Structure 1
Amino acid sequence: MIRDAQTALFDFFPGRTIEIHQVDEQVSTDGGLIAFRELDKKLGLTESFAAQIRDPRADPTQSLLSVIRQRIFGIIAGYEDQNDHDTLRSDPVFKLIADRTPDDHDLASQPTISRVENSVTAGDLIRLEDWFIDRFVESFDEDPDSITLDIDTFADSAHGTQQLTFFNNFYKDNIYQVRVITCAENDQIALPVLLYGTAHVSLGAADDLTRVINALHRRYPDLHVTVRADAGFAVPHLYEALDCLANVTFSIGYQMNSLMQEKCEELMDLTLKTFETTGKTTKNYMHLQHQSRNWSRAYDLVIKCEANEQGTNRRVVITNRPGAEQYPDGTYQEYADRGESENRNKELTVDLCADRLSDHRYMANLFRTMMHAVSCNLLARFRGVVAEAPVDSGPDADGIPLEAGSEHRKRTEGNRRRRRDPLGRGRAMTWRTLVIKVAARVETTTRHVRLLIPSSWPHADYLWKVSRSLASFAPSG
């Protein structure tokens, strides 16, 4: 039904006017978001997440679970701020996600969401940390033989005077630091942490990694775990903590200081001469054992020397990985593969806006970090559900398999996989374009709720594929 309201008129079309009318219908621009709610039902993510929080409100109109679902599904759809829900609270799809019909009362407003986020206690957050670790351990479809954990941080610029934001000289800004432990095999965030602005990035990292690894070993006693981190985590107590854990190896970036430069000077000269002769990017690797004065023992170091058109580059990795002496190139390449995990962190910040922590209280902002992490994990699980079986590219002309190939070859093959399987390899923005962002009219009957989408929508085949994959998906355990 067309409302009796003002009409927008345009006359650019030859011979006819174009009119825009507002109609009394239940319409949403995020029709495909329903598929995420179906996956969430099968996994029980938002329900179990909300169960960790003790809601202090008495007989609230908006349940804690409903508010959390608003925020988590809103983040997935590209609505990262509380303010967005002042307009989304009457959206029929968001109501369905919260287990309400489109005609039910509206969802939570921004002030209600803010009160919920600010009511979270330290005890709630500790329980949520345990929840993240437990859900990560349960996230594998089959018992793994080995996995790789990457630990990294990113900056969240302060929005005003927020608790525990300080000026960080490296970032030249007042910030929080978000630290995440992620899994290279399934893209899951095992544990998100919010550090104060001037904290060393390694603060508590040994304890957090130990918690995650011990939980994995309780479930999978023979599991081998590899830990990778950049040079910010190159601190002796982290090496020693990981060294004490059974079935754990690590590769951590190490500072290129004057001593390391001296030790690899001859190799750097050789690398540069080779590049000048061939004109092609040249990389060489060397191994050495080194023990600093504050280390309890000597560790293996692998040094990469590179020369290309942009100049020279040296990198050092400290490791306890077996075979580092015999295969320094393979050891370094295994470490360099952590670049894919950094892409997941970019997705968390750029696509899912986890660097938009605007509450005043530190604990509220940690809670928001955790909701962003749940959104990221739900999307990663969906990628796994719809992913097509990878095509084995086989060895190259020299008989070298892809795993041992060059960075360029791996990057090229990764781009091919993304083109072949845009959902199984796609980031949040791809999912929004191909699945989530579709206009839908919602009709409710006594037996059904129907979402009617345009027949002209060019990406409908992706939504049907998602629906079929969900129908056959059953979580392990």
Structure 2
Amino acid sequence: MSIVNTLSLESNRQIKINFDGGDLSSDAGLLLIKEFVSKPGIDNLLGKVFKTNDSALFRYHTDQKNLLQMIYMIIAGYFEDDTSDELTNDPVFKSVLEKDTLASQPTVSRFFNRMDEDTLNQLLMIGRILRKRVYRIQMPQAVILDLDSTLLDAYGKQEGRAFNFHYQSNGYHPLVCYNGMTGDLVKIQLRDETEYSSTGVVDFLQPILDEYLNDYPAIRILLRGDSGFATPDLYKQCEENGT
């Protein structure tokens, strides 16, 4: 039995049949995500505001593209950075990132290792800028800041990993703040698993209150949290900030 590598139809020589498979992808939905990212200018914003502590004069895989690659990968369900090696020639990922190839796993790991406290502050600033763009379209009358803590499972011997009796699990216990009206994440801060729910909440919350009081003085600020956040210091902070 002969194997057909390429077959041209006699009725139309422009049509060819083969078994190469072509450039296939199961992640075509990312093209719509790309459209959403471009509308408020998130991709351009990352290029202007986001920069790791990098001494290299030139990189083909820039910080902006590396961050966008990880965002698209997570949205598509690829949570491990080593999956970037499998996606390096995926046509949809190359299209949304506007690159010939994706950054490899070692490149992504080096990218993560360059992140520091300044990088995290840049990400918080990006969130603040995006909130301004959204509020220009429609300014809310009130915002509900939902305080909470959650479990991030960790495996191995990562720094700060510990056992939490409440969750009966090893990992981290970060502080989180969501916009209770929209579900958007406003801020998150990593802590080790032994920290109590409200530990460090006053310092965590103050920059958020400063942003809303300075940028949107007309918005009424409401704070919501469970009993783990019922502390005198937090009550005092709310009173001092009109919250």
What TM-score do you get using the length of structure 2 for normalisation?
0.84
Cα 1:173/1:157, change in 2 over 3 Å: same
SS at match of 1:180: strand
Higher relative contact order (CA 8 A, sep 6+): 1
Q: Is 1:110 aligned with 2:109?
A: no
Alpha carbons 2:175, 2:201 under 8 Å: kept? no
SS at match of 2:38: helix
1:178-327 mapped onto 2 (5 Å cutoff): 178-246=174-242, 248=243
What amino acid is the match of 2:207?
R
Deviation at 1:184, TM superposition (A): 2.0
Match of 1:76 in 2: 75
1:21-420 mapped onto 2 (5 Å cutoff): 23-49=20-46, 51-56=49-54, 57-100=56-99, 104=100, 106-140=101-135, 141-246=137-242, 248=243
CA distance, structure 2, for counterparts of residue 41 and residue 79 of structure 1 = 21
What amino acid is the match of 1:228?
R
Deviation at 1:207, TM superposition (A): 2.5
Deviation at 1:127, TM superposition (A): 2.6
Deviation at 1:137, TM superposition (A): 4.3
CA distance, structure 2, for counterparts of residue 192 and residue 136 of structure 1 = 16
Alpha carbons 1:177, 1:194 under 8 Å: kept? yes
What amino acid is the match of 1:112?
T
CA distance, structure 2, for counterparts of residue 83 and residue 97 of structure 1 = 19
Cα 1:22/1:67, change in 2 over 3 Å: farther
What amino acid is the match of 2:179?
C
CA distance, structure 1, for counterparts of residue 43 and residue 197 of structure 2 = 29
Instruction: Return 5+ residue gaps in structure 1 as ranges.
Output: 5-20, 249-477
Alpha carbons 1:86, 1:109 under 8 Å: kept? yes
What amino acid is the match of 2:111?
V
Deviation at 1:85, TM superposition (A): 1.3
Structure 1 or 2, whichever has the larger Rg, is 1
Deviation at 1:90, TM superposition (A): 0.7
Identity fraction in percent: 28
Deviation at 1:24, TM superposition (A): 4.5
CA distance, structure 2, for counterparts of residue 58 and residue 167 of structure 1 = 43
Please list the CA deviations of residues 390-411 of structure 1 after superposition, one character each: whole Å capped at 9, or x if unmatched.
xxxxxxxxxxxxxxxxxxxxxx
Instruction: Return 5+ residue gaps in structure 2 as ranges.
Output: 6-17
CA distance, structure 2, for counterparts of residue 209 and residue 134 of structure 1 = 18
What amino acid is the match of 2:110?
R
Match of 2:9 in 1: none
CA distance, structure 1, for counterparts of residue 44 and residue 80 of structure 2 = 21
CA distance, structure 2, for counterparts of residue 239 and residue 185 of structure 1 = 22
Deviation at 1:203, TM superposition (A): 2.4
Deviation at 1:173, TM superposition (A): 2.3
Q: Which runs of 4+ in 1 moved over 6 A?
A: none
What amino acid is the match of 1:142?
Q
CA distance, structure 2, for counterparts of residue 3 and residue 49 of structure 1 = 48
CA distance, structure 1, for counterparts of residue 53 and residue 63 of structure 2 = 7
Deviation at 1:143, TM superposition (A): 1.5
SS at match of 1:43: coil
Alpha carbons 2:50, 2:64 under 8 Å: kept? no
CA distance, structure 1, for counterparts of residue 204 and residue 46 of structure 2 = 20
Deviation at 1:58, TM superposition (A): 3.6
What amino acid is the match of 2:91?
P
Pairs aligned (count): 226
Cα 1:133/1:231, change in 2 over 3 Å: farther
What TM-score do you get using the length of structure 1 for normalisation?
0.45
Deviation at 1:113, TM superposition (A): 0.6
CA distance, structure 2, for counterparts of residue 162 and residue 131 of structure 1 = 28
Alpha carbons 1:210, 1:242 under 8 Å: kept? no
Match of 1:449 in 2: none
Deviation at 1:183, TM superposition (A): 0.9
